[in-house]
Amino acid sequence: MHVGKKTQKKEKSAMTVSLYGNLFFVIIELIMAIYTSSQAVLLDAVYDAVEFIMLLPSIFLIPLLYKPSNEKHPFGYLQIESMFVVVKGVTMTAVTLGLIANNIEIMFHGGRSVSFHTVAYFELAASILGVAVFIYLKNKNKVVNSPLVAMEMRGWQIDSIVSMGMTIAFFLPIIVTAQWFDAVIPYLDQIITVVLSIFMIPAPIKAVVTGLRDLFLIPPEEETVEDIKETVEPILYNYGYEKLYYDIVRTGRKLWISVYITFDRDEISISRFKIIQNDCIHALAQRYTDFYFELLPDIEFTTTVEIK
């Protein structure tokens, strides 16, 4: 299964919107972080800055990802995408851990008070804008089914949730008027930053693990493998088989599926074989956008070589 130029343009369009959205947020968040001295806003700014830096080259990679495979590149150029996801995930993880360490150090030095209501209203506006970009990317990705766009969607989704959480947290000094809460206020900004960092860090770690699996041609996660088997096996069962063996790998957005089949009879009809393969491809196309599928007879070859 291959995707056309229209899909490529839609993917590039979605990534461009995400790029400019990130740039806009980086600028206003840096300004707000300097104005309010908030570490939580700085976390957002640094996160979005890394997103922007990593997103910029990915737009230029998109045409390369659509080039077909050849003898020199049997899997095409799709592993570049996996490598890019790994680098981005490692960078985001390192930045998040660095911010956690920095905020813990600030807490040990007595904390830092900020303009809570200013940050709260700012984060509320950021959350609304983030949701708008997420919805736009989600609608675009229904057509392109791109791992790059999907990763951007996760980023905007996390940003929106984080911003809403920060909005609620920074309204606490206004809502909670109890005297005991006064002692917490100097540390509130750092506590929010550390909690949010811990909440955010699983996403880039998961991206790294998935990207490494693809780079080393390890079969994808068990859910994907089982889904493929559940899609293909009912079709093959109707035609009769004795044994099946699967060879499934993923490079970037593309799945490479090879099914080796041992029939329950000796004769193999080529026309019948083509029909089975086409049925499998049609069923898989309902669930996956970009994949390669081949159905092969599993023929055991044994020979005895006489050494003189």
**pLDDT digits over 172-219, tens only?**
888 887 888 888 888 888 888 888 888 878 888 888 888 888 888 788
Please provide the average confidence, as pLDDT, over all residues in the chain.
Answer: 82
User: What pLDDT does 1 receive?
Assistant: 47
- What is the predicted pLDDT for the residue at 228? 94
pLDDT value for 264: 66
Q: Are the C-beta atoms of 204 and 82 separated by less than 8 Å?
A: no
- How far is residue 33 CA from its own chain's centroid? 28
Tabulate helix, strand, coil % of the chain (nearest 5). 70, 10, 20
- Residues 78-83, mean pLDDT to the nearest whole number: 75
Q: How confident is the model at residue 236 (pLDDT cuts 50, 70, 90)?
A: confident
Distance, CA of 21 to CA of 48 (rounded, Å): 9
Q: Is the pLDDT of residue 308 over 60?
A: no
pLDDT value at residue 80: 76
Query: Where are the domains positioned within the chain?
Result: 5-215, 222-297
Residue 242 amino acid letter: E
Span 253-269, pLDDT tens digits:
788 899 998 876 666 67
Domain 222-297 has CATH 3.30.70.1350: yes
Range with the poorest average pLDDT among 142-151, 165-174, 257-266: 142-151
Q: Is the pLDDT of residue 237 over 90?
A: no
- As beta bridge partners, residue 262 has 243
* 167 vs 59: which has the higher pLDDT: 167
Q: What percent of the chain has pLDDT over 90?
A: 16
**∠ at Cα 249 (247, 253), nearest 5°?**
145
DSSP-derived secondary structure letter, 259 = E
What Cα–Cα distance (Å) separates residue 211 from each residue in 35, 117, 147, 242, 273? 38, 40, 10, 35, 34
Query: Which position has the higher pLDDT, 10 or 304?
Result: 10
CATH C-level class of 5-215: mainly alpha
pLDDT at 126 over 70: yes
For residue 292, what are its two tokens? 């390669």
Scanning the structure block, which residue is given the tokens 């003189």?
A: 308
Instruction: Write out pLDDT tens, residues 8-22.
Output: 777 778 888 888 888
For tokens 């993923």, name the residue. Answer: 250
Looking at residue 305, its amino acid is V
The pLDDT confidence band at residue 229, using thresholds 50, 70 and 90, is very high
**pLDDT single digits (tens) 34-71:** 988 888 888 888 878 887 887 777 777 767 666 766 66
Residue 302 has pLDDT above 70, yes or no: no
- The whole-angstrom separation of Cα 145 and Cα 297 is 31
Task: Note the maximum CA span of the chain.
Answer: 95
Q: Which residue has the higher pLDDT, 142 or 137?
A: 137
